[in-house]
Amino acid sequence: MTEPGRAALLLVVAWLLAAVALLALQGMLLAWIGAAGALSLGVLGLRALVRQQRAPSILDRMPLPERYRVADDLNQPLAAVIATAEQEASDGEQ
């Protein structure tokens, strides 16, 4: 961090400490902390809800290629997995 950056940070911290001291002197510090905490929780909850609603549905995902489905099936012999991968590779080259 540069020297002007440190000075600016120190100035911001000093102003914040002065604001906290004034709130404490007026007896409003606990009310302010409670209100700020409640507002922060509300904003975080709303943000989580919006993010969940905007997430893509699992039903909209593209299906896995056949080679992945065969490879994920542990009952399949290794030869079948290799044959499926080779078949898809040769189909892609044409």
Burial readout 66-90 (b: 16 or more C-beta within 10 A, e: otherwise)? ebeebbeeeeeeeeebeebbeeeee
Cβ–Cβ under 8 Å, residues 67 and 81: yes
CA quadruple 16, 18, 19, 25: dihedral, nearest 10: 150
Rounded to two decimals, the pTM is 0.46
For the segment 27-77, what is each residue's pLDDT rounded down to a tens digit? 999 998 999 999 999 999 999 999 999 988 877 777 767 667 766 777 778
- Which tokens go with 83? 């044959």
Nearest-angstrom CA–CA distance, 85 and 67: 5
Examine the pLDDT at 80 and tell me if it is beyond 90: no
